[in-house]
Amino acid sequence: MDKIDFWGGCHGNFLEVMLEMFVYGNDTMKGKQLFNSAGAAHQKSKNRDYRPIILARHYSKNNVPFNDDDNVIEIHCCEEYRLAALTNSLLRAGDEEIDIYNLHQNTIAKFKAVSKAYLDLDDLIREHGVQENYDRQILRNYFYSKFEYDQYGISMWNTFKHTGQKYVFPISAFYNLEEFYYHLNQCAYFLNLNFYPTTETANTWNDFILRNQGYQSQKKCNKIIQSVLASVELSTENLTLVEEAYIAHRLAKLFRCYDHPLLTDETFPTNTIQIADAIYTWKSKDYATKTK
């Protein structure tokens, strides 16, 4: 059987429908609404005529056994798009949304309201006890750990259990149309089929990108980091806690400013000049002194 194995937020349902339409020739979703209000490709489940040949499921995550002759496409995460994957998993996976803007308010109640957050809640309580409201910096550090420690992020998202024939579909391919076409075609080779793209392929991908909160967040934060490096002014207000954590993590990796108070205070800086001035000034005092 043909299967797609993926972790929440990594676009397995979107890949399933695109392969159905443009590789398997299943036209039951063509011209139909594919995306729900959260931007996930979950509307297929509401189409009674849609009967896919390839099935996207969380096989490895849920310990669903494979058959020896299964052809499996695995969606693998990468360093470049950790933020996109994490954001999408929090905002749309399982059709559940976690408030990543104001999670410091009524934290436990918000985590309890979504079934997918039980491990996050357990971790938070174990580390910081039971609190109605947690400091923003505590939550920022929690998300920071998902970028810093592979076992809480990228290694987990890349844990797969099929040992037979497989094709690795990189998550980065979802965010570039040319790469997306290339890997759809490679999937078709893997499945001994052909790839039949049309203008609808590109149009559907464009719709996917515009609705993709994780990708848009990744683009925004990359621009903020570049602006810090070049000391170009850009607002850093109205960021999610996850975005604040990602920016702090990247800057720590670039400048070794792991404990800089500007990035560890309860309140996050409001613009890139504020960050750049503080970090470059701090770094200028860190030069090794010459011995006479």
pLDDT, one tens digit per residue, over 162-201 is 999 999 999 999 999 999 999 999 999 999 999 999 999 9
287 band by pLDDT with thresholds 50, 70 and 90: low
Residue with more model confidence, 29 or 274: 274
Cα–Cα distance measured from residue 85 to residue 213, given in angstroms and rounded to the nearest whole number: 10
Model pLDDT, residue 198: 95
Is residue 157's pLDDT more than 60? Answer: yes
**pLDDT tens digits for range 90-138:** 999 888 899 999 999 999 999 999 988 888 899 899 999 999 899 999 9
Using the predicted structure, report yes or no on whether residue 289 has a pLDDT greater than 60: no
Taking the domains of the chain in order of start, what are their residue ranges?
Answer: 2-77+158-211, 82-154, 214-284
What per-residue confidence (pLDDT) applies to 251?
95
pLDDT confidence band for 292 (50 / 70 / 90)? very low
